Amino acid sequence: MDSRKENEHFLEKQVIHVKHSLFKSFECSARGVARVALTQRSFRIQLLIFALVIIAGFIFHISNTEWLFIILVSGMVLSLEMINTALEYIIDLVTEEYKVHVKHIKDITAGAVLVSSSIAFIGGLIIFIPHFLALF
């Protein structure tokens, strides 16, 4: 092939790859969420809590601003849990032996999930306690 045909062939492959890769990206992303949901108990607990908070939001008719907070912090918690899981997989792949730095990395990423969960919990209390007290 001459260089012009090679370039055309390359560009055709790239266009097909781009069209294919967008769908593939969503497919891979969904597989990643499913993997975490199937293998991580804490993620399933967080999803359950998120579902209960959504139900409570509908029951108490929370404001748009309150919905925004709930959605954002819940996304933060779930995303950090997934990042924590991914980092644990990477670390376990790289080293099998105990290293204090590995323990620190795992503790720090788990701590990030704890901090975000705590913020979400406090925010949830601030939102829902007044709605709950209004019932009495």
Q: 104-114 b/e with 16+ CB inside 10 Å = b?
A: eeeeebbebbe
| Residue 53: closest CA among 39, 80, 72, 31 | 72
Q: Among all residues, which ones are annotated catalytic?
A: 81
Give the DSSP per-residue string, 41-61: HHHHHHHHHHHHHHHHHHHHT
